[in-house]
Amino acid sequence: MKKRVPALKSDEEAEAFLARDLSAYLTPENFADLRFEYKPKAESINLRLSKDLLTAVRSSARRQGVPYQRFIRMALERAVRPAK
């Protein structure tokens, strides 16, 4: 049976945990996808949204585990990506 990753309360606990053999913890439940943004964000825009739309955007972003502004950027990137 695979183990669950314990809650670590300090950097020292995290270091000690990572120094061990972690093969028993290698299950999909113990890992989450991470999204990295490499390109610098040099430009900014103002965008007016209805309260209902902003609430829906924030809710969707929370479900995906990302900040809502990053969620909006991701949606814009998907919208302008060339079709395959």
Residue 24 CB contacts under 8 Å (≥ 6 apart), including other chains: 2, 3
Q: How confident is the model at residue 11 (pLDDT cuts 50, 70, 90)?
A: very high
Using an 8 Å Cβ cutoff, are 61 and 46 in contact?
Answer: no
pLDDT digits (tens, 9 = 90+) for 24-41: 877 777 676 666 777 888
- Separation of alpha carbons 37 and 77, rounded Å: 12
Residue 58 C-alpha from the chain's centroid:
13
- Separation of alpha carbons 79 and 64, rounded Å: 18
Phi and psi angles of residue 68, each rounded to the nearest 5 degrees, phi first: -65, -30
Ranges of each domain in the chain: 1-31, 37-84
pLDDT at 82: 86
pTM: 0.57
Mean pLDDT (whole number) for 11-27: 86
